Amino acid sequence: MASSINFVIAAYALTWVCLVAYATYVHRTLRRARDEYQRASRQPAGEAR
């Protein structure tokens, strides 16, 4: 009984770790892309990095 509950806890914990980690990665990627786009938009022609 206690052992089966441990497996249930592990399954739900893994689900949350996986979803939160991936959502964090997506948000960081989005923030980086937005910053990069804003930098590129301000850049005058002929001055690419």
Partner 1 sequence: MIPPAVPHHETPLPVAGRWPLFGAFALVFLIFAQVSSVLVSPPDRDMGHLQKIMYVHVPAAWTTFLAFFVVLVFSLLVLWKGRETHDLIAASAAEVGAMFNALTLALGMIWGRPTWGVWWTWDARLTSTLVLFLIFVGYLSLRAFIEEPERRARWSAAVGVLGAINVPIVYMSVKWWRTLHQLQSSPSTVDPAYVYGLRVNAFAFLFVLIYLVRRRYEAARLARAAEQLNDVAALGGR
Positions that interact with partner 1 (CB under 8 A) = 1, 3-5, 7-8, 10-12, 14-15, 18-19, 22-23, 26-27, 29-30, 32-34, 36-37, 39-41, 43-49
30: left (phi over 0), alpha (psi -120 to 50) or beta: alpha
- Least distance in Å: CB of 21 to partner 1? 9
Write the DSSP symbol of residue 49. -
Rounded to whole angstroms, the Cα distance separating 41 from 26 reads: 22
Number of residues that make up the chain: 49
We find the least distance from the C-beta atom of residue 38 to partner 1, in angstroms, to be: 8
Q: Closest approach of Cβ 3 to partner 1, in Å?
A: 7
